[in-house]
Chains A and B, each alone.
Chain A
Amino acid sequence: DVKVTQSSRYLVKRTGEKVFLECVQDMDHENMFWYRQDPGLGLRLIYFSYDVKMKEKGDIPEGYSVSREKKERFSLILESASTNQTSMYLCASSFPLQGGTEAFFGQGTRLTVV
């Protein structure tokens, strides 16, 4: 089975802290994604990566950065956490999605910033 593993299910951080969310996939997927999920808004793409050291901004990149030093690992970084970044964060990975190849999702990290 494909597995996408996020390092934490729940996190509580203080305003201004630097926060790292880690994601690892075991299927040699080229693409990796970070989404943010908020009630009534669905999933919104923060950043994605199509190769090692390559990244592209998604729809809501402000306040976030990412790192992909190895193919299997994609990190989301909150440089200075703020309360409006309290949310559920979902990591996903896939082969190139032409032809409808599916994306596989991790279990999510529920981040609370206080």
Chain B
Amino acid sequence: AQSVTQLGSHVSVSEGALVLLRCNYSSSVPPYLFWYVQYPNQGLQLLLKYTSAATLVKGINGFEAEFKKSETSFHLTKPSAHMSDAAEYFCALLTGGYNKLIFGAGTRLAVHP
């Protein structure tokens, strides 16, 4: 069965520190993977996506993610956290059929001064 697991429902970092949000997936076919961000009281916005063109994917706002097939992972990183990065982050996996997305439970990122 296809699934997405995000390790850590809450992550807290200092401003300027490395951000690492973890995502593992399970898929019987080559996956398409996405990271979305949700700021308070808003909808979801695409950060980046993996579509098999390159294993290191760069997104908006300085985020990037590396696809590792051997580890079935797609972790999201940012070298230096900013206060404006405080939000909830969702990892998602594209399933077959009519193109449905399966989402992880989300990780809430807090950034403190």
Contact = CB atoms under 8 A, between A and B. Distances in A.
A17 interface: no
B100 A48 contact: yes
Contacts of B98: 31, 48, 50, 56, 96
B25 interface: no
Contact of A31 (B41, B44, B99): B99
A44 B94 CA distance: 13
Contacts of A44: 103
Given A97-B94, A100-B50, A43 B103 contact: yes
Interface in B34-79: 34, 36, 41-46, 49-51
A102 B46 contact: yes
Interface string A84-99: 0000001010101111
B43 A102 contact: no
B interface bracket (residues with beta carbon within 8 Å of A): 20 to 34
Contacts of B46: 102, 104
Nearest to A106: B43
A90 B101 CA distance: 13
Contacts of B101: 33, 43, 45, 97, 103
25 contacts: A31-B98, A41-B105, A42-B6, A42-B103, A42-B104, A42-B105, A42-B106, A50-B98, A50-B99, A58-B100, A90-B43, A92-B44, A94-B99, A96-B99, A97-B94, A100-B32, A102-B34, A102-B46, A102-B49, A103-B101, A104-B46, A105-B44, A105-B45, A107-B42, A107-B43
Interface of A: 4, 9, 31, 33, 35, 40-45, 48, 50, 56, 58, 90, 92, 94, 96-108
